[in-house]
A = this chain, B = another copy of it.
Amino acid sequence: MQPSVDLAIVGSIGIDTIETPTEKQEEILGGSVSYACAAASFYTHAGMVGVVGTDFPTEFRKIWENMSIDLEGLQTVEGKTFRWSGVYEENMDNRRTLSTDLNVFETFSPELPVAYRSAPYLFLGNIHPALQLHVLEQVHDPKFILIDTMDLWINIDKENLTQVIGKCHMLTLNESEAQLFTGEFTLNKAAKQLLELGPEYVLIKKGGNGSMLFTKDDIFLLHAYPLDDLKDPTGAGDTFAGGLMGALAASGKTDKEAIRQAMIHGSITASFGVEEFSLDRLKRLDRSELEARIGEFKEMCRIACADSEERM
């Protein structure tokens, strides 16, 4: 029997209130698993593992259904949905959390539907490392596991985090988180230390400055697509990772070349995501726009193919 989803994604679901230097939006759909599943949905059949409260708006659920995201792993629990509010500073690089109300997310225990347990691809979005470990106990040897995390877990539960990272194929984190985790300033040294925890790949995200994929043998450098405007960077990392995992699942592969290609897809999906708040841009994005920008982006990054390498 085929698994019902090719990619299972676990993470948070929130209702966000976000302020940027030019705009404020209240009570909009957010959360790592929402962004990641939306991005993955362009490429593969993704299943969502998360929790919402009984107050969760039907129209938000509709957005996911319209993107053909599998919601069998979505729990609805008596109470209020997780709320988060934050504000972005002038240059959009730094954000400050104004409030966090965990609500039903506080007692969330991710339980994978049977149909998700043999999904070949698994993305452990940013949640408590003990919960990420709990997910790993339920799955049947996925072909490829990506784990994301955040500064909070590095600060308060490095032990469990280290353990779960050791069980994954790829770790992704931000530049500053990589530095925090390792105490190293250069990303080369930070990545080297993180690779020693076990994963074959370490993917460091640098926001508008792109991303870097490290293995024991080499490095892959990817710029971010340069945008005319950026409205809301919330969820960009989750969209990137979700698009990456979706594209990788679609390829059926896990090798380095496939990951390079999947990173391009993730990066471009994220570039659309930040053009508007919440899933506003992604929900009306079509595959041909995505493909067109990917083609444009590849041309922007093209430095040389074999035959033109030795001009000097």
Contacts and interface: CB of A to CB of B under 8 A. Distances in A.
A209 B227 CA distance: 16
8 contacts: A209-B209, A210-B210, A219-B300, A221-B300, A260-B303, A298-B304, A301-B303, A305-B306
Interface in A207-234: 209-210, 212, 218-223, 226-230
Interface residues on A, range: 35 or more
Given A300-B219, A300-B221, A312-B43, A212 B226 contact: yes
B298 A309 contact: yes
A-B pairs, top 9 by smallest CB distance, nearest first, are: A305-B305, A221-B223, A209-B209, A188-B228, A221-B300, A219-B300, A188-B226, A301-B303, A221-B301
A230 B184 CA distance: 12
A7 interface: no
Given A206-B209, A209-B209, A311-B251, A303 B222 contact: yes
A147 to B, nearest CB: 22
A110 to B, nearest CB: 29
Interface of A: 43, 91-92, 185-189, 206, 209-210, 212, 218-223, 226-230, 247, 250-251, 257-258, 260-261, 264-265, 295, 298-306, 308-309, 311-312
Contact of A210 (B185, B186, B223, B304): B223
A218 B299 contact: yes
A190 to B, nearest CB: 11
A188 B187 CA distance: 27
For this chain, the copies found in one complex come to: 2
Tell me the dominant secondary structure on chain A's binding face.
mixed
A92 B187 CA distance: 13
B258 A186 contact: no
Contacts of A230: 186
Contacts of A229: 186
Contact of A303 (B227, B228, B298, B311): B298
A189 B219 CA distance: 31
A226 B300 contact: no
Contacts of A261: 303-304, 311-312
A250 B209 contact: no
A275 to B, nearest CB: 12
Contacts of A189: 228
A162 B105 CA distance: 56
Residue of A218, A257, A303, A305 most packed against chain B (CB within 10 A): A303
Nearest to A191: B226
Contacts of A91: 185
A250 B312 contact: yes
A233 to B, nearest CB: 12
